[in-house]
Structure 1
């Protein structure tokens, strides 16, 4: 029998968190299942939007939820706190902007059991499907798109794993204080322990984000800068070609995004009129894909700048 602890870190996401938690309360679990029960461990990372007060006031609506709080310290510390406070033997990580379907837990349980039977051990974890959507009113209506495919080994948007493997690997590295890479870095350590990924497309989660707008561009550029710096930290911990590919620190990525951006000529300023034109015609997803040209170029430049800085500090 398995007892699930669904760990949900959150920071200023109250509107979509409501949908996330309501979906988790509506799980359909078979009478013949191996699921003994489940809890939802919400870790509030210092929200300022009334999340904690709302959750406490609505506690009767969410009988599976246990709430924990910390000062704003980032998702790595929040997930670690969630694991430490969890009562389950199996952890499911999802983000607080993910809305799951009723068979979600059952699908992860079935996937884990099949994986264990095939491998003859529990040295595995399940990775569910994540479908991106801008539809706040009905997020689960979004169809799967080619851009939703992920080749990641371990990402915390929708993953289930035996708790003891997380503890053996050492949980999340809290040195990753900026945006990005803390989950994939843990994934490298899990892979080194020999854990196998079991894809579980039946465990579907719909990742909501607001439609792309011009106002988001400064934040997105800042995230790419942070992701570049954290990517270098990732590479310093695991200096392999595989990690270089993940963080875009290769000549191929410099050539690709340098060429597509015309050496940086196609940037947030020069592409703004085209993006505005697409948004007026209700094409936010296409506008975002075009914006990725300069966002990825910013990321590649940030990676190399952070790497040069780290090399300078190491030699001084």
Structure 2
């Protein structure tokens, strides 16, 4: 069995190098004939492609692909289409994995295939969030690392023919968010089972929260809202409305918790600065999530009105 690890990347060269170094030292058994690391540069402007091209001897497993900036979904599609693997593993370019990462995914997949009698399943590995750039894998597992998402492509493995049968990722998702969960809805409709694989551990690095990140975080919420409407148009179900928070319940919830928007990133800024000052940036981010959720929900309802949805 040959494995392809597909990684779309955009302007993340420093952490991408840690990601690739971890993948180059994988310990695999005889059940795996070999593996490749398919890196799809999504039009980066930080020199990612040229650096990897010039230093290709450092990463013998890497297959490098370049595309114009079109988003991670398009990048994953290109990676899959040019891959040689029987199994596709998707990870993000800011994920640093353990030495048994690939082996753990494949062991769990093969066990599920035997149990089911078919290959209609995928494995979902553990994702541990960390702000420790120097030593990402030293981060302990936290309650906030738990996820209930179905087919979140930060750390999943699936048989290639099943993925191709699903139709791959919809390139209409050009901005941030939802392209993987939308594919997940199609996989769910095919009867594809989610198999938890906690031994396939990846450490998701992102810089510690700081005040100057607030504008970009609000922009992400606006982009997610636009993509959420595309998601809902394709799957106009109550389930998807709850996933994207396009319900009256979510509108009332976040309006109430923020007192109609009185609690916002400006009014809570002194609290956020205090939490950062006492070295609690993670808690500051959790506090900020409340008004950010309101931004996102309001934007979804605005986009729905513009698109004639109710």
Would you call these one fold, judging by a TM-score over 0.5? yes
Question: Contact (CA 8 Å) 2:127, 2:204: kept in 1 or not?
Answer: yes
**C-alpha distance after superposition, 1:35-90 (max 9, x if no partner):** 11100000000111111121012111100000000111111111110001101111
What's the counterpart of residue 300 of structure 1?
297
What's the counterpart of residue 270 of structure 1?
267
Greater CA drift, 256-265 or 86-95: 256-265
What's the counterpart of residue 92 of structure 2?
95
What's the counterpart of residue 7 of structure 1?
6
SS state of the match for residue 60, structure 2?
coil
**C-alpha distance after superposition, 1:190-235 (max 9, x if no partner):** 1111110110000000000000011100000010011011111101
What's the counterpart of residue 213 of structure 1?
210
What's the counterpart of residue 146 of structure 1?
143
> How high is the TM-score relative to the length of structure 2?
0.98
What's the counterpart of residue 191 of structure 1?
188
**C-alpha distance after superposition, 1:109-130 (max 9, x if no partner):** 1010111011111111100000
> How high is the TM-score relative to the length of structure 1?
0.97
The 5 Å alignment of 1:237-248 reads 237-248=234-245
**C-alpha distance after superposition, 1:276-295 (max 9, x if no partner):** 11111111000000000111
Gaps in structure 2 of 5+ consecutive residues? none
Gaps in structure 1 of 5+ consecutive residues? none
Query: For residues 302 and 165 of structure 1, what CA distance do their matches in structure 2 show?
Result: 35
Query: For residues 178 and 56 of structure 1, what CA distance do their matches in structure 2 show?
Result: 27
Greater CA drift, 257-266 or 36-45: 257-266
Query: For residues 16 and 183 of structure 2, what CA distance do their matches in structure 1 show?
Result: 25
What's the counterpart of residue 250 of structure 1?
247
The 5 Å alignment of 1:33-52 reads 33-52=30-49
**C-alpha distance after superposition, 1:155-213 (max 9, x if no partner):** 10000001111111111001111110000000000111111011000000000000001
SS state of the match for residue 35, structure 1?
coil
What's the counterpart of residue 29 of structure 1?
28
Q: State the Cα RMSD in Å.
A: 1.0
Query: For residues 182 and 242 of structure 1, what CA distance do their matches in structure 2 show?
Result: 16
Query: For residues 123 and 214 of structure 1, what CA distance do their matches in structure 2 show?
Result: 44
Query: For residues 185 and 130 of structure 1, what CA distance do their matches in structure 2 show?
Result: 20
Q: How many residues get paired?
A: 310
SS state of the match for residue 66, structure 1?
strand
Q: Pick the aligned partner of 2:110 from 87, 109, 113.
A: 113
2:9 is the counterpart of 1:20: no
Query: For residues 55 and 96 of structure 1, what CA distance do their matches in structure 2 show?
Result: 14
Query: For residues 153 and 72 of structure 1, what CA distance do their matches in structure 2 show?
Result: 26
